[in-house]
Amino acid sequence: MPILQARAEAPAQSCQQRFHLRWGHLRDPHVRALAWLLDSPDLLDPAAPQWPGQVASIGAPLPPATLQWLAALDLAPQALHEYLAIQPFTRLGRYAERLMAFYFAAQGVLRAHGVQVRTDSNETIGEFDFLLQQGDDLLHWEFATKFYLLEPSGAGQAADYFVGPNLADTLGAKMHKIFSRQLILAQHPAAQRYLPQPVARAQALLKGWLFYHRHDEGAVASPGVAAGHCRGFWCALAEVEQLDVHHAVILPRLSWLAPARVAPQQALDRQALDAALAEHFAHDSMPLLVALLEMTPDAALEVGRGFIVPDDWRERAGQRRRPGVGAA
């Protein structure tokens, strides 16, 4: 299966354009993040033959009641803020899970969230992300928000070449873990005492962004990845000078989900961005996610996004996704 199959046609709307059109009225950052989780394209194609019936989807379009609920929540977000109980060290994945748990609870379908399964000897077997009630059925949903960069160094399964910015995992390894381990948790004998009733269906819901090298932004990923997924670019620090950047902002990790909306004074011009990147990479090798901005009278809106990586990232990513590495 080739990594890059063809050149994609230019999309009618980017994920950023679509989000700003549909959700431009939202101001609270946490409500905006939740709206993106609910309304953004899935990373995986639910109709793909690789995982028949195993990929969950919120469904589109969202019903009018959900649109009204989000608008009301944006005007009075205190309950959401208290539920999140945000701490500076909160991981992005847990933050996204809490947002979804708040939504499922508000919809009256949440039976349990983050249920750890242990044996009698207190050995941890796994965790149910979400147990949801759908009519008479109990559903087990595994949920993840992922950000992967395509490291196109050779032929092979495309998912193996999508690497996390911090090189911690790959899309292939993540899918293997979800579909071969996490979704069968309900079948384990130790799990039975944690379940209010047998699980009727186990599925995975994946949201996120995939990033392509700036010369390959039109690339089409292999089957199994949703064609309309949210995408961005990546480039090495030495390539930044080739980017057409007028205004930008470096996004902190908890702001990676929804397209950015920031105050105009937070926007960095090209000189300030270059200085911030140079200062960061002088002592840190962690890639930075940069949102490219369009200035409006009352806000700066994201129109594109990309990871800036150290100049040796591609070489280290190639070593990271060698066969047998990160397959857990």
Structural domain contains residue 9: no
Contact 23, 6 (CB under 8 A): no
CA 54 to chain centre: 18
- Residues with pLDDT less than 50, the chain: 1-11, 155-156, 323-328
pLDDT at 10: 40
pLDDT at 96: 97
52 prior amide bond cis, ω within 30? no
CA distance 205 to 284: 32
Structural domain contains residue 204: yes
DSSP characters over 295-307: E-SS-EEEEEEEE
What's the longest Cα–Cα distance across the chain? 61
Structural domain contains residue 8: no
Q: Name the residue with tokens 């847990």.
A: 94
Amino acid at 179: F
Contact 305, 291 (CB under 8 A): yes
Structural domain contains residue 7: no
| Whole-number CA gyration radius for the chain | 20
Q: Name the residue with tokens 């009301």.
A: 72
Which pLDDT tens digit goes with each residue over 82-140? 999 877 767 999 999 999 999 999 999 999 999 999 998 999 999 999 999 999 999 99
Contact 33, 50 (CB under 8 A): no
Structural domain contains residue 3: no
DSSP 231: E
DSSP 54: T
Report the b/e string of 214-225 with b at 16+ CB within 10 A: beebebbbbebb
Report which of 235, 248, 228, 227 is spatially closest to residue 303, judged by C-alpha positions. 248
Report which of 230, 212, 184, 216 is spatially closest to residue 44, judged by C-alpha positions. 230
Number of domains in the chain: 1
Structural domain contains residue 263: yes
Q: Name the residue with tokens 């911030």.
A: 276
Structural domain contains residue 5: no
Give the C-alpha distances (Å, rounded to integers) separating 142 from 74, 200, 251, 328.
Answer: 27, 14, 26, 16
End-to-end CA distance of the chain: 22
CA distance 208 to 149: 11
Q: What are phi and psi of 124, to 5 degrees?
A: -80, 125
Structural domain contains residue 4: no
- The first and second tokens of residue 1, run together, are 């299966």
Contact 205, 42 (CB under 8 A): yes
CA distance 292 to 302: 6
Q: Are strands 261-262 and 288-295 parallel, antiparallel or unpaired?
A: unpaired
CA 144 to chain centre: 7
pLDDT at 282: 97
Contact 144, 156 (CB under 8 A): no
pLDDT at 2: 27
CA distance 134 to 113: 15
Q: What are phi and psi of 89, to 5 degrees?
A: -95, 5
Q: Name the residue with tokens 């930075």.
A: 288
Residue 224 belongs to domain spanning: 15-320
